[in-house]
Amino acid sequence: MFGKITILTAGESHGKALVVIVDGFPAGLEVLPEKIDNELARRQVGYGRGKRMEIERDRVQIISGVRHGKTLGSPIALLIENRDYENWSQIMSVEPADSEEEKREARPRPGHADFAGMLKYGASSARDVLERSSARETAARVAAGALAKGFLGEFGIRICSHVLSIGKVTAQKPNDYSPEIVEAIDKDPVRCPDADASGKMIEEIDFAQGKGDTLGGTFAVAVLGAPPGLGSSFNFEKRLDARLAGALCSIPSVKAVEVGEAIEQSRLPGSKAQDEIRYESIRLIHRLTNMAGGIEGGMTNGEKIFLKAYVKPVPTLTRPLSTVDMESLESAVAFKERADVCVVPAAAVIGEAMVSLVIADAFLDKFAGDTIRDVRVSYKAYLERISRFWKPPRPFVLKPFDGDS
Ligand SMILES: Cc1cc2nc3c(=O)[nH]c(=O)nc-3n(C[C@H](O)[C@H](O)[C@H](O)COP(=O)(O)O)c2cc1C
């Protein structure tokens, strides 16, 4: 999936466990299970989640690639058990089963992988498709993303996210992403930085739930402290905006991604749609606006990376939509599955993980090394070379390192 970093997830929604194998991180990176668990817990919360998240208390088991709290440079395997498996052990058993006894889900749900997947994989029950296409898989991605976040933290790069809208309720963006603001966002039930809007979003979710309906919305992901020059405009597959958009769009139910203020930009004349370049002795080269969202020509330009993702409403409804029974070809209502009402707050946390993986990969592409120390030496040399023009914004500075003079 990525260049330097490769990740492969496995696991069904109600199977025994989710597994992810991550390769490409240098040796010597600190990895603590509690930091991964913290990210997993952030994915599980959010007003509007369903009963499943009350059952699961995701905890990571580090299976390989880490010794005494540090990466070895070898593939890292992470495992997250599905607690709900004990209720599904028969339905999800890997042993051969009597197909007569099996309850077939033959009425595919609109908005899901059910229909196309049944045809593609020759499945008579949507269960064979939905177990893997379910967003439960994203817990594995969040675990992998936690490694990327930890790696970027070593270089003073921080990633955060928040909800921008749910249904018709829109929030004000925060002025900055100070640690206090980021903490407050995480404490908010819908991960919204605007308290007024947050209250209205909760009302909107309650209202939708009361009608047996669901809601979508938008979330933002911001990256602070990334140096100019990550990504490339010389190879189309390395263009960072394209890679970030693809990574965010790979999150189930994310249907569009906006880089910076692209929608507004598209409506403006060219003279008003760019971020003019300034120099001043403290901040060095910088921009007064950030419509480009920190990416120009497929590369970071040293400003904050800012991305928005558009999430469609959850497709499984307690009042199911019409479909066709795949056995009789008669009209039917879609089968019901336990479902969330609104997943935008959780999707934002998954967005952080995906963005972290892409940025870490682009960072390692530019500052390759087999050990964290090698990467650090390379990054320091680059910062020195560009020091007339750009420096990391405070307080996002390199962590002190025992090899530093
Ligand atoms: C965190 C998260 C939780 C989700 N939970 C549900 C759910 O409970 N029920 C549901 O129908 N869809 C849920 N979805 C959305 C579906 O996974 C998604 O719409 C479906 O797989 C089809 O993919 P697509 O929307 O990208 O086309 C969830 C998505 C995310 C990101």
Mean per-residue pLDDT over the chain, rounded: 93
Is-contact 221 155, C-beta < 8 A? no
Q: Is residue 390 part of a domain?
A: no
Ligand 1 centroid to residue 175 C-alpha, Å = 31
| Residue 294: pLDDT over 90 | yes
| Residue 405: pLDDT over 50 | no
Q: Which region, left, alpha or beta, applies to residue 69 given φ > 0 means left and ψ of -120 to 50 means alpha?
A: left
Take residue 301 and report the two structure tokens written for it.
Answer: 């330009």
H helix and E strand count, the chain: 12, 17
| Residue 372: pLDDT over 70 | yes
Q: What pLDDT score was predicted for residue 46? A: 84
Q: Which residue has the tokens 């990466």?
A: 71
Q: Is residue 73 part of a domain?
A: yes
Q: Is residue 1 part of a domain?
A: no
Q: What is the pTM of this model?
A: 0.96
Which of 340, 349, 354 gets mutated to test ligand 1 (max ligand atoms within 8 A of its CB)? 340
Q: What pLDDT score was predicted for residue 45? A: 85
Q: CATH number of the domain at 97, please.
A: 3.60.150.10
Phi, psi of 271 (to 5 degrees): -65, -20
Q: Is residue 339 part of a domain?
A: yes
- Give me the domain span that covers residue 211: 6-385
| Residue 242: pLDDT over 80 | yes
| Residue 2: pLDDT over 80 | no
User: What is the number of domains present in the chain?
Assistant: 1
Q: Is residue 145 part of a domain?
A: yes
Q: Can you tell me the mean pLDDT for 195-222?
A: 96
| Residue 170: pLDDT over 70 | yes
Q: What pLDDT score was predicted for residue 165? A: 98
Q: Is residue 45 part of a domain?
A: yes
| Residue 147: pLDDT over 70 | yes
Ligand 1 centroid to residue 35 C-alpha, Å = 25
Q: What pLDDT score was predicted for residue 306? A: 98
Question: 150 CB under 6 A from ligand 1?
Answer: no
